[in-house]
Amino acid sequence: MGEVVVITSGKGGVGKTTTTANIGTALALEEKKVVLLDADIGLRNLDVVMGLENRIVYDLVDVVEGTCRLKQALIRDKRFKGLFLLPAAQTRDKNAVTPAQMQKLCEDLREQFDFILIDSPAGIEQGFKNAIAGADRAVVVTAPEVSAVRDADRIIGLLASNELLNPQLIVNRLRMDMVKRGDMMNIEDTIDILGIDLLGVVPDDEKIIVSSNRGEPVVMESSSLAGQAYRNIAKRLMGEEVPLIDMENEDTFIGRLRKFFSGRNKKKE
């Protein structure tokens, strides 16, 4: 029986889709059977981030309405064994499905997969309600800035009132240079304010944009710090204990120099 995890944030643009794509890919690399479910009906993007946009025939709404069988709508990612995408419909809106239908869909997917990752739409309306309806647990993505943290707090409250009581936090787009200057809230600040458990921290990384340009998840890049962070998050989702990456020495010129001289293959603890 698989586990249904919804990835949500409240505010748009903090990296839900990138997070979903990368955690899912990382889980598949760990030999889990994974389906990425794009619940952002009308504004689908998980397909382009994953580079699977040309392979869509049927979508989530087709499955729910019985236009096709579930199996027909699942797109197999040929690059990663065990990874599938169930795309959102692009020409419909959030009201095309109901929470009850989403629950049923999640139950069906649970039979076939180890992890069902749901990419939630931004906002707190119908699309959000649909996205969380069938979930066992929730991951809240935020960026260390006031608007994203405020919205994350609201989402945590709404999750609680829908019986998703212990969401875990991903702090995305952390910039160590700004943290050091005191111009960006650090991990402790963010956790202190939101009061939930930390699942992981993802540094701001240009490679994220480069890889979504290409439709290749950044976890495929072994040299990317963000990729490493996502691989760690996937392991933590599986229940492994993985320490946070030491970003102190990574994101500065000195840090890069130090890294260069100490050899690139040094294992990060």
Of the ranges 33-41, 54-62, 99-107, 157-165, which one interacts with other proteins (CB under 8 A)?
Answer: 157-165
CB atoms within 10 A of CB 66: 7
d(CA 92, CA 208): 29
Size of the site for other proteins (CB under 8 A): 19
Residues 182-211 that bind other proteins (CB under 8 A): 182-186, 189, 192-193
Residue 177, SS3? helix
As a whole number of angstroms, the distance between CA 7 and CA 139 comes to 5
User: Applying CB under 8 A, does 161 fall inside the site for other proteins?
Assistant: yes
149 is a site residue for other proteins (CB under 8 A): yes
Burial (Cβ within 10 Å: 0-12, 13-18, ≥19) of residue 168: middle
In this complex, which beta carbon is closest to other proteins, that of residue 175 or of residue 235?
175
- Work out how close the CB of 193 gets to other proteins at its nearest, in angstroms, rounded to a whole number: 6
Nearest to other proteins of 31, 197 (CB atom): 197
Q: Specify the residue, 13 or 76, whose C-beta has the smaller distance to other proteins.
A: 13
Taking CB under 8 A as the binding criterion, the range among 56-64, 102-110, 176-184, 258-266 that sits at the site for other proteins is 176-184
Shortest spacing between CB 177 and other proteins, in angstroms: 13
- Residue 115 phi, psi dihedral angles, 5° rounding: -130, 135
Q: Which segments within the chain are labelled E, that is strand?
A: 3-8, 34-38, 75-76, 83-86, 115-119, 137-142, 168-174, 197-203
Give me the least distance between CB of 140 and other proteins, in Å please: 14
The residue written with tokens 């069988």 in the block is: 69
DSSP per residue over 71-119, as a string? HHHPEE-TTSTTEEEEPPPSSS-GGGS-HHHHHHHHHHHHHH-SEEEEE
Segment near other proteins (CB under 8 A), from 49-57, 78-86, 149-157, 226-234? 149-157
Comparing C-alpha atoms, which of 73, 86, 80, 81 is closest to residue 35? 86
CB of 172 to other proteins, least distance (A): 16
CB of 176 to other proteins, least distance (A): 13
Task: Determine the interface stretch with other proteins among 48-56, 133-141, 168-176, 180-188 (rule: CB under 8 A).
Answer: 180-188
Q: In the numeric block, which tokens belong to residue 215?
A: 């439709």
Task: Check residue 216 for interaction with other proteins (CB under 8 A).
Answer: no
Binding residues (CB under 8 A) for other proteins: these are 145-146, 149-150, 153-154, 157-158, 161, 179, 181-186, 189, 192-193
